[in-house]
Amino acid sequence: MKRWSFHAGVVVLVGAVLWVPVGERAVGQGQAAQKAVQPAQKGTQPPKKKAGPEPPATDPKTMKVAKGFRVELLYSVPKNEQGSWVCLCVDPKGRLIVSDQYGPLYRVTPPPLGQSEGTKVEKVPAPIGSAQGLLWAFDSLYVVVNAANAGLYRVTSSRQDDTLDQVELLRRFEGGGGEHGPHAVVLHPDGKRLTVVCGNQTRLTRYDTTRVPPVWGEDHLLPRLPDGNGFMKGVLGPGGAIYHVSPDGKHWELFSVGFRNQYDVAYHKNGDLFTYDADMEWDMNTPWYRPTRVCLITSGSEFGWRNGAGKYPPYYPDNLPPVLNVGPGSPTGVCFGYQARFPRKYQEALFICDWSYGKLYAVHLKPQGSAYTGELEEFISGTPLPLTDVVINPHDGAMYFTIGGRRTKSGLYRVTYVGDAASGSSNPGSGSSNAGANSGPANAGAEEARAAAARQTRLELERYHAPVGEAAVTAAWKELNNPDRFIQFAARVVLEHQDPKLWAEKALAETDPVKATHALLALIRVSAPCPEHTREKKVKGDPALRGKILQALARINWSDLTTAQRLDLIRVYHVLFNRFGPPTAQEREAYLQKYRPLFPTGDRYVDGELLQVLVYLQDETAAPKAMKLLAQAPTQEEQLEYVRALRMLRAGWTPELRRQYFLWFVKAANYKGGASFANFLKLIKADAVATLSPAEQQALADILQANPATIKLPEEAPRPFVKAWTMEDLTPLLDQGLQRGRNFDRGRRIFATAKCFACHRFDNEGGSVGPDLTGVAGRFSPRDLLESILEPSKEISDQYQAVEILTKDERVVVGRIVNLNNDVVMVNTDMLNPGSTVAVNRNNIESMKPSKISMMPAGLLDTYKPEEILDLLAYMLSRGDRQHPMFRP
């Protein structure tokens, strides 16, 4: 009998799939089931299907679970009666409160440990629902409603008993409701406040105090590209926000901004706050794509979400980097493992849920300076397993999680540890100790002491994140040149809270180049608003102050700066010219005389940022140098960076350079990317065409109207076959071959030509359907790395393993489940082109099992010589550092 099969294939560059998670695009307006939350307008709630036999929630036996742990399905939610559950919390009696995405709340009494039967579910009488945040605190149930009447509510008992029936609105959210609306509410560690989470479609609510200096802006030097498909077009920063709120809901403090769609937050036992923020998968394979990421949320922090192509790269000094990049996905619930009867390692872990890929990760944090690094472990995975929330129940020490969202089949599960008692499990309520309990080396104590001291420095600075005076300026100034990003950021935030009269002259006179860079950035931000955030959309900066700042910046010696410090300095010029306008002719010439000879610098990121300034100043020498960089750039992300900047350049073009520039768009028509990729290219091209005169447009008409079908581009000759390399062939070369003398640029080119960038991110560029390889040196020896490339199916990561689906009509679909919608499962069948998906009705699935074949193709190195393979390995093991000893002569 014939079976239709869909298998992973190979194409040139990677695209993207539209994930639709609960915390992302999965959350609709939803009809509220109560008076306090008004019903949604007609048509906003998906129509309910006729009742029929429902498949049960995903069987725990099909899940992959960390060793020693057991998963129980406690309750398979009847979808037509109780909807699809998206959040939960624990009440004082150890019961769970859960919410249907489009309907009411339920109270769930789980059976005792050791029993899987007998779960009791009762509807909460209070007229409220459609919650994405639930918290029991201060003898009340706090509810964050994400529906037509979005807001923070307090639910109590009118009879002072166990019956929750009384609803009080504490704060209405404007613009909330929907996929990027208000989400979680958790208890602050001081036990006196709430912490409330809002996604980037929720307008900033009125706040009484702020830890974030209210001087944010867009601060793009060149015109920002909106999203190619118009998503959230016109919405300005600062994006998603975190608030601290009094129990009565009357006092609100803005604590952090700049998120895309952080669904939940969790507090470390030392008081540090963490979240798992969303990516914009439509941006994939562009330089402005940012993967889902774990972030440490510090006082006054900014994480740089801006609409379209305006997202800040992690190296910008006016935003903070993540603790850990995870990759594509759909972040939902998060929690720490404290109070769980788990081994110590997992009590200390941060658990994060990914809705689209069905992964519950354990993030093992380790202090690094005043912040952290993180190691990702797949704790539980399933197919399908659309995780929505996770909690630890302190009453029984078990973990509980829910799956569901977007009317998919929902279930409630319990996780317990059943392994060796000697592994270190302990009673509920345990799990004290300091950060970094997972350390093992002999010098771990010294490392932890240094990290603790750095964290204390950051916390002392954060005490001054309010108007204080001279003492705050003095404390901040000492730390402006601290190499710790989080301390340095905290110090600048201190300055921005103080009256600039106390420190402006000090900033202009500062001789330390690093202190001057960050003090001047602060001065620029507090002295003039971003034009896009003014009613008139005009520059308001004082030209006289701009001149003084330019003089101070001119004293900084470029050659004395590290690469990171150079990026900081260029960013200061971006913000200065955006807020204060273009320099005078004399100021322009002084800048160009200093920086024109430095371009290109040889660093891909420095060159991209510096090119923006040269284009802004219409430098006549920029075009030929930038076009040479474009021709040599091995990745489409790097190419896009140059093309995006050059689109606004009018000066210095020759007819041939113009022709080469627009020919790139013909070539790029074959590039793959996210759902907005093609339209981003159209926007860039339209801006570039607008710089042409009518005569130039006529001369270039054949190119401007061309496409790959009408213009024959020169084809790159295929690489000749060298050998089907084996471990026995190449292993003997590793010891001596990776000592020194390797070629960084050739290694990077091979990473591109071998299609590694198509699937993998490395040093903030590349695809995201495979694991990020930037930190591969910390996980693999050279031999292990080589083996993973030559024999990809020998050891397949659970995180990236394909699934084989057999349908009842005997089709076979092989790929990764990337999305769910009601009873439809979307499967990506081509790892190198995430846009290639096959829809499978869940009711038509006969069986699902993990595939034993890696989606990574074999033979990728068969056209390369040994010296080239060694350059590739050196590039990967160096973490992208061209100064690594392996590249020394």
Instruction: Report pLDDT digits (tens) over 313-364.
Output: 999 999 999 999 999 999 999 999 999 999 999 999 999 999 998 999 999 9
8 A C-beta contact, residue 580 and residue 524 = yes
Q: What integer pLDDT is reported at residue 430 of this predicted model?
A: 43
Residue 872 structure tokens: 């590739």
Whether the pLDDT of residue 427 is over 60: the answer is no
pLDDT reported for residue 147: 92
Pairwise CA distance, residues 479 & 369, whole Å: 14
Query: How large is the average pLDDT for residues 597-621?
Result: 97
Three-state secondary-structure class, residue 585? helix
pLDDT at 839 exceeding the cut of 90: no
428: which 2 tokens?
Answer: 């509920």
Mean pLDDT of 233-260: 97
3-class state of residue 292 by DSSP: strand
Spatial CB neighbours of 198, under 8 Å, sequence gap ≥ 6: 173, 176, 181, 182, 183, 205, 240, 241, 242, 243
Calpha distance 69→417 (Å, rounded) = 4
Q: How confident is the model at residue 663 (pLDDT cuts 50, 70, 90)?
A: very high
Does 29 score more than 70 pLDDT?
Answer: no
Given this model, what pLDDT does residue 176 score? Answer: 64
How many angstroms separate the CA atoms of 559 and 117, rounded? 70
Q: What is the pLDDT of residue 869?
A: 92
Amino acid symbol at 3: R
Residue with the two structure tokens 């996780």: 415
pLDDT of residue 829: 73
Judged by DSSP in three states, 478 sits in helix
* pLDDT tens for each residue of 122-150: 999 999 999 999 999 999 999 999 998 99
Residue 756: what pLDDT? 79
Q: Is the pLDDT of residue 23 over 50?
A: no
Q: How many percent of the chain have pLDDT more than 90?
A: 68
In angstroms, rounded to a whole number, what is the distance separating the alpha carbons of residues 839 and 790?
32
Given this model, what pLDDT does residue 784 score?
83
Contacts by residues 528-532 (CB-CB < 8 Å, ≥ 24 positions apart):
528/579, 528/580, 529/215, 529/217, 529/579, 530/216, 530/217, 530/218, 530/219, 530/578, 530/579, 531/578, 531/579, 532/217, 532/218, 532/236
Instruction: Name which of 101-110, 402-411, 790-799 the model is least confident about.
Output: 790-799
For residue 334, give the nearest of 423, 401, 252 by alpha carbon.
401
pLDDT of residue 187: 98
Between CA 475 and CA 707 the distance in angstroms is 59
178 Cβ contact list (under 8 Å, min separation 6)? 27, 28, 29, 146, 201
Angle between helices 622-632 and 604-616 (to 10 degrees): 150
Q: Has residue 2 got a pLDDT over 80?
A: no
Mean pLDDT over the full length of the chain: 88
The answer, yes or no, to whether residue 5 has pLDDT greater than 60, is no
State the average pLDDT over residues 527-554. Answer: 96
The whole-number pLDDT of residue 856 equals 76
Nearest C-alpha neighbor of 552 from the set 577, 589, 522, 516: 516
pLDDT (tens digit per residue) in 466-498: 999 999 999 999 999 999 999 999 999 999 999
The pLDDT score that the predictor gives to residue 712 is 61
Q: Average pLDDT of 233-248? A: 96
Q: Hey, what are 187's tokens?
A: 């208890």
pLDDT the model gives residue 813: 82
In which band, very low, low, confident or very high, does the pLDDT at 757 lie, cut at 50, 70 and 90?
Answer: confident
pLDDT over threshold 90, residue 762: no
More confident: 798 or 216: 216
Lookup: tokens for 101: 């995405």
Give the model's confidence band at 499: pLDDT under 50 very low, under 70 low, under 90 confident, else very high: very high
The CA-based diameter of the chain, rounded to the nearest angstrom, is 83
Q: To which residue do tokens 């990516």 refer?
A: 279
User: What is the dotted CATH code of the domain comprising 60-112+119-423?
Assistant: 2.120.10.30
- Per-residue three-class SS string for 808-839: CCCCEEEEEEEEEECCEEEEECCCCCCCCEEE
Predicted confidence band of residue 811 (pLDDT cuts 50, 70, 90): confident
pLDDT recorded at residue 167: 98
Q: Which residues of 735-762 are buried (b: 16+ CB within 10 A; e: fewer)?
A: eebbeeebbbebbbbbbbbbbbbbbbbb
Residue 812: predicted pLDDT: 83
pLDDT bin (cut points 50, 70, 90) of residue 27 is: very low
Burial class for 123, CB neighbours closer than 10 Å (0-12, 13-18, 19+):
middle
- The pLDDT, as a whole number, for residue 14 is 27
Amino acid identity of residue 717, one-letter, is A
Q: Among candidates 803, 767, 799, which has minimal Cα distance to 6? A: 803
In this model, does residue 59 exceed pLDDT 90? yes
C-alpha 553/C-alpha 410 separation (Å) is: 58
Higher pLDDT, 427 or 575: 575
Q: What is the pLDDT of residue 822?
A: 65
Contact at 8 Å (CB) between 462 and 491? no
Asked whether the predicted pLDDT for residue 849 surpasses 90, the reply is no
